[in-house]
Structure 1
Amino acid sequence: MLSSRMVDASPSVPATRSATVVLDGSGLGVEDVVRLADGSARPVPAPEAMRRVEESWNAARRLAATGRVYGRSTGVGANRNEDVPSLAPSAPPAQGGPPQAAADHGMRLLRSHAGAVGEELPARQVRAALAVRANQLLAGGAGLRPSVVTALCEALESGAYPVVNEFGSVGTGDIAGLAQVGLALAGEHPWRGAGAPAPRRLDNNDALALISSNALTLGQSTLALHELRGLVGATQVVAALSLLAVDGSHEAYAAPVHAARPDRGSAEAARRMRALIGAADRPTPPLGRIQDPYGFRCLPQIHGPAYDAADALERVLDVEINAAAENPLIVPEDQAAYHHGGFYAARLALALDHFRLALTQVARLSTSRLSTLNEPAYTRLRPFLADAEPAASGVMILEYAAAAALGDLRAFSAPASLGHAVLSRGVEEQASFASLAARQTLRACGAYRLVVGCELVAAVRALRLRDLRPDPGLPAGRAFALAEPVLGTDAADRPLTDDVAAAAALLDRFTDIWRGSAS
């Protein structure tokens, strides 16, 4: 796989951390999930949210003991009409747990559903899922025992995480992966890392309540959004260096152009470009060529939609990671269990698909600028930024490498939401495939980095060969100062693999420069 983040090691979780993230079931954000996944903050469940969990658990047990509640007193899927043993009227929940047969039903449900297959997921992704699930449970609609929330927070605190395999969801709940989490909590499934929480007793009132969620897909989506949003910003910094290397026009970013066509994302991309290169709001027209190739001239119109798609995806995630979307939803004040389809992740799948399609446009524009950097008509240098040797190839191969990586990115951008599945004897006759969309978005990270890394290698070489040094007081100048000592100076024909790898790794630091251009 191309993604550099799909195989990351377990995060190093410090013994003590002053940074905390309060989990209250309503205010968790994308950046909070990333911090918990990385182990740079510790989770603190809000007391009032824990009270909601307690109330929901008590209400759920009463409802399951006196009526038919999906997954608690019945089977699941096509078995939804089959009853399982429930509490007898003479043994209300307050006097103890369900009878052994009912308790066994919960464990059998977890065991049967913990059949995820494929590669083990890396620590960071599993920890993101634990953070999302703990917060969702604190919204108070699941109706499972509070000690499950405590155990999830203990794992996030210690750095331990359950083994979770890659495949098992079709976007109607991450039931296979979360069943593996449930078995790990019960002591029947392995953990990675030290400090796993002590085994907890789980029964019919906990099993479906735990796995009725898209927490794994949501955790993966937050990580992908965080990385790729930053990389889109870093790409604009690289584009600024390319623009300076070809004496590009500033007119495409002029404020009047974007006031005349008031598209929010495009206007913001143009404003950022002006900040990166120190362009005036109303720049003086160039004396040379009339207008630049699309790679420069249409940057606001292509980067802007990517900004907007990232914002739209974040809005969806903000809802979902704070949602009580379990089926059934336990509402203590109504003394009711509402059966519904809130687990169906169509909006998330569509937002992820939209985001990847926008990213592919941005990456494709990077390859356009790379082609321009190879042209003497724009750089006043030898073809392919080569040295003086006859027929030297210079950075010619970067166009091929970037096009190959872009091919993978295009493949990852195929809309997952076009998928379809009919499951469980026809009872579940739709699937959003949001889980596939999340995996594809994560995998896009590595391919995207390599495309833009190729452009950065060429842009820095062109600036060096032309003896151009961007103003170090400008963001573009600071980016060049970061890149110059990292990338090789030899313009002779040589392998460029290591240069591209170094440039791709440097993009995270360019992201910080781009963020600094926000004001």
Structure 2
Amino acid sequence: MQNSRIVIDGTSLTCPLVARAARGDVIITIDPAGVSRARAAWRTARAVAAERPVYGRTTGVGANRVVEVEWEDADAHGLRLLRSHAAGAGPLVAPEIVRAMLAVRLNQLAAGGSGVDPGVLQPLADALNLGLLPPVPVYGAIGTGDLTALASTALCLLGERAWLGGPDAGVARGPGFRLGSADALAFISSNAATLGEAALAVADLRALLDAATVVTALSLLAVRGSEEPYAPTVHEACPHPGQVEAAAAVRTLLAFDHPTPARIQDPYGYRAFPQVHGPALEAARYAENVVTREVNAAAENPLIDVAGRTAWHNGNFHTAYVGLALDAARAALFQTMALSAARLGTLTEPSFTGLYPFQAATEASSGIMILEYVAHSALADARRLATPAALGSAVLSRGVEEHAGFSTQSARATTDALAASRIGLGCELVAAVRALRMQGRAPAGGPLRAAYDVAAAVLDDRVEDRPLDADIATAADALPAIARLLPPPLP
């Protein structure tokens, strides 16, 4: 089967496209318009640097910005910069995050504004297509530039550092390009690694929230919950967009099932789902908008202005928007995952399911008792990771760089919070499907029945006491497929 193709043009990269580039079997190509923008910026940068000081091209960096680089030392200056900044530490980040970084930096360069030689675009695309990865350690960035990660990438391009992965793994040979010394700072002055991880996290967050809506509907059906909290009149009275969307989604999922409710009023896990899940939907949507804007921006310092034939020294390297958006998304994710754990508690109760305690095979058996412990263990991590990364501070480079938003740490915390949340939601899915099976019931039709069938096809139907670790893992793995079954919101 032919590989799918992603065209990088500097203007239309999305979080789902970053995820495809990072995880899928795709071919990366470059739109000629992006090459043209990069070439125009490169020519302008050279012309401006010949006439006036330009940070990183004719000067040192950080506190050394006041030091002019002598013309006879210019060729060596950039190489020293790359070597000195390729100093990350700790374990290597996941390969998919490195691929996301390469895709984002390629798109940023195609947006124009960096002044980097356009000849670097194709080697970056080649590295992606060949499966070549620069070594990128976890520690080295705080949200004001992924300098260590991109310096390592540059040294791989130059042949000084060995690539990882692909047919040329371990070979210190670039895909055929020598980065010019004057372009060294311009190439590494980017948050591409942070933005790449943020894009992956946002795409995964949207999918997890969709899956949570479907799992909630399955649980509601299993406990014979009331549909009243999802009625249109309720949400017209308090019309937050996310709340309205969450309620409408559950109504759509339950369109084929209208059982008589077992209680006049359900616990919060069901009754307040739209009000708690809605903020998470809105936070995810806002975060996606912020990250999409950033990955398509010429957020370079200095910014090469082709039309104005000048360079602007600026603060667009600072990703406060990204960090704060992800901080808010994690807080909202924790809230909605806490409701999942609460619903799991109801699925162990005979008064809600009509089954033995813990959906056990006998009155004395343990059944799914342990799922609550696992879910709350995962929830504890989601709570810990919800602490805002933006509360940190840093003063660096002899006081010249006196603030950091720690968006890098926010992106990493979001990745980890999502992993924990998948486990918790997987526990609820196991319990909901098991309850319906033991009750001899299933959704009557529509997307909810399709989701039930997806889960039932892979989850073990035995109810005697046995290890449930495989069930949890299987349920967590099924969540993306279940998410895709949620009907899109009405316009």
TM score, norm. by length of structure 2: 0.95
Does residue 62 in structure 1 map to residue 35 in structure 2?
no
> How many residues align structurally?
486
Does residue 401 in structure 1 map to residue 374 in structure 2?
yes
Does residue 73 in structure 1 map to residue 46 in structure 2?
no
Which ranges in structure 2 are unaligned for 5 or more consecutive residues? none
**Change over 3 Å in CA distance of 1:344–1:517 after alignment to 2:** closer
Displacement after TM superposition at 1:385 (Å): 1.1
For 1:61 and 1:204, how far apart are their aligned partners in 2?
A: 12
Amino acid across the alignment from 1:370: L
For 2:198 and 2:135, how far apart are their aligned partners in 1?
A: 19
Residue-by-residue CA offset, 1:127-161 (whole Å, 9 max, x unaligned): 11111111111111000111111211111222212
- What SS does structure 2 have at the residue aligned with 1:205? helix
Identity level (%): 48
Does residue 47 in structure 1 map to residue 40 in structure 2?
no
Q: Is the 8 A contact 2:340 2:425 kept in 1?
A: yes
Q: Is the 8 A contact 1:105 1:203 kept in 2?
A: no
Displacement after TM superposition at 1:380 (Å): 1.5
Map 1:209-358 to 2 at 5 A.
209-278=186-255, 286=260, 288-358=262-332
Displacement after TM superposition at 1:21 (Å): 2.3
Q: Is the 8 A contact 1:106 1:202 kept in 2?
A: no
- What SS does structure 1 have at the residue aligned with 2:381? helix
Displacement after TM superposition at 1:41 (Å): 2.9
Matching residue within 440, 446, 451 for 1:467: 440
Residue-by-residue CA offset, 1:31-87 (whole Å, 9 max, x unaligned): 22112112433222222221121111111112222321111111000111011123x
Q: Which residue of 1 aligns with 2:476?
A: 504
Does residue 412 in structure 1 map to residue 397 in structure 2?
no
For 2:379 and 2:326, how far apart are their aligned partners in 1?
A: 18
Q: State which drifts further: 31-40 or 224-233.
A: 31-40
Q: Which residue of 2 aligns with 1:7?
A: none
- What SS does structure 1 have at the residue aligned with 2:486? helix
Displacement after TM superposition at 1:488 (Å): 2.1
Q: Which residue of 1 aligns with 2:343?
A: 369
Amino acid across the alignment from 2:339: L
Q: Is the 8 A contact 1:275 1:517 kept in 2?
A: no
Residue-by-residue CA offset, 1:442-467 (whole Å, 9 max, x unaligned): 11222111101111111111111211
Does residue 455 in structure 1 map to residue 432 in structure 2?
no
Does residue 110 in structure 1 map to residue 95 in structure 2?
no
Amino acid across the alignment from 1:183: L
For 2:489 and 2:300, how far apart are their aligned partners in 1?
A: 41
Residue-by-residue CA offset, 1:326-353 (whole Å, 9 max, x unaligned): 1111112222111111101111000000
Displacement after TM superposition at 1:479 (Å): 1.6
Amino acid across the alignment from 1:263: H
Does residue 386 in structure 1 map to residue 356 in structure 2?
no
Matching residue within 130, 137, 141 for 2:113: 141
Q: Is the 8 A contact 2:290 2:321 kept in 1?
A: yes
Amino acid across the alignment from 1:160: L
For 1:175 and 1:441, how far apart are their aligned partners in 2?
A: 21
For 2:182 and 2:304, how far apart are their aligned partners in 1?
A: 11
Q: Is the 8 A contact 2:225 2:261 kept in 1?
A: no
Amino acid across the alignment from 1:439: R
Does residue 171 in structure 1 map to residue 143 in structure 2?
yes
Displacement after TM superposition at 1:515 (Å): 4.5
For 1:287 and 1:315, how far apart are their aligned partners in 2?
A: 39
Displacement after TM superposition at 1:287 (Å): 6.1
For 2:250 and 2:370, how far apart are their aligned partners in 1?
A: 28
C-alpha RMSD over aligned residues: 1.8
Q: Is the 8 A contact 1:59 1:335 kept in 2?
A: yes
Q: Is the 8 A contact 1:154 1:197 kept in 2?
A: no
- What SS does structure 2 have at the residue aligned with 1:514? coil
For 2:29 and 2:337, how far apart are their aligned partners in 1?
A: 39
- What SS does structure 1 have at the residue aligned with 2:87? coil
For 1:405 and 1:287, how far apart are their aligned partners in 2?
A: 31
Amino acid across the alignment from 2:183: D
Q: State which drifts further: 52-61 or 424-433.
A: 52-61
**Change over 3 Å in CA distance of 1:352–1:457 after alignment to 2:** same
Amino acid across the alignment from 1:220: E
TM score, norm. by length of structure 1: 0.90
**Change over 3 Å in CA distance of 1:333–1:130 after alignment to 2:** same
Q: Which residue of 1 aligns with 2:413?
A: 440
**Change over 3 Å in CA distance of 1:324–1:406 after alignment to 2:** same
Amino acid across the alignment from 2:437: R
For 1:335 and 1:242, how far apart are their aligned partners in 2?
A: 61
For 2:452 and 2:289, how far apart are their aligned partners in 1?
A: 34
- What SS does structure 1 have at the residue aligned with 2:66? coil
For 1:107 and 1:323, how far apart are their aligned partners in 2?
A: 26
Residue-by-residue CA offset, 1:385-404 (whole Å, 9 max, x unaligned): 11224x32211111111100
Structure 1 segments of 4 or more deviating over 3 A?
515-519
Q: Is the 8 A contact 1:187 1:200 kept in 2?
A: no
Q: Which residue of 2 aligns with 1:478?
A: 450
